[in-house]
Amino acid sequence: MPVEIGKVVEGTVTGITNFGAFIQLPEGKTGLCHISEVADDYVKNIATYLKEQQKVKVKIISIDAKGKISLSIRKAEIKPPKKSNPPVQSDWKKKEYVPKVAFEDQLSQFLKDSDEKQQQMKKHMKDSRRGNGFSRKEIAR
């Protein structure tokens, strides 16, 4: 079986370096799987993923003019397609959005809550300026 770009073949790891792994392909050819093509995750140490004489499936990703073969283990793996949920179809003419509470009611409630919080803050600020709420006469006693 000739080596062609895009094919997935089985090979044997013959050498491991800090930048990748050399893999013996059918017909006696050797290719390099760069460390970035070993796994989808970040690979700090290739030896944690591969061992010499290990059988691996690789995808041939390129062959340059000098005959150097670039391989990928991560692209050789068949991954299930990602689930994509189709968008929900809505019939906007049929459904009318009616809020549970009218906007004006929500606004008036917000303003009321805001005023209460401001009053509490003002009271707290006023008390803290007086020395924790005690008057000078009470402290003098």
For the chain, the domains span: 8-72, 97-130
Is pLDDT at 132 greater than 80 in this prediction?
no
Residues 6 or more apart from 37 whose CB is under 8 A from it? 20, 61, 70, 71, 72, 73, 74, 75
The answer to whether the CB of 26 falls within 8 A of the CB of 3 is yes
Q: Tell me which of 2 and 64 has the higher pLDDT.
A: 64
pLDDT of residue 78: 74
Q: Is the model more confident about 110 or about 137?
A: 110
Superfamily of domain 8-72: Nucleic acid-binding proteins (2.40.50.140)
Report the pLDDT value the prediction gives residue 40, as an integer from 0 to 100: 87
CA-nearest of 9, 11, 10, 15 to 51 is 15
Q: What is the mean pLDDT of residues 134-140?
A: 55
Burial group, residue 35, by CB count within 10 angstroms (0-12, 13-18, 19+): buried
Q: Is the pLDDT of residue 139 over 60?
A: no
Question: What pLDDT shows up at residue 118?
Answer: 92
pLDDT in tens, 20-71: 999 999 888 999 999 999 998 899 999 999 999 999 999 999 999 998 999 9
Phi, psi of 117 (to 5 degrees): -65, -40
Summarised one tens digit per residue, pLDDT across range 82-120 is 677 777 776 666 656 666 778 888 899 999 999 999 999
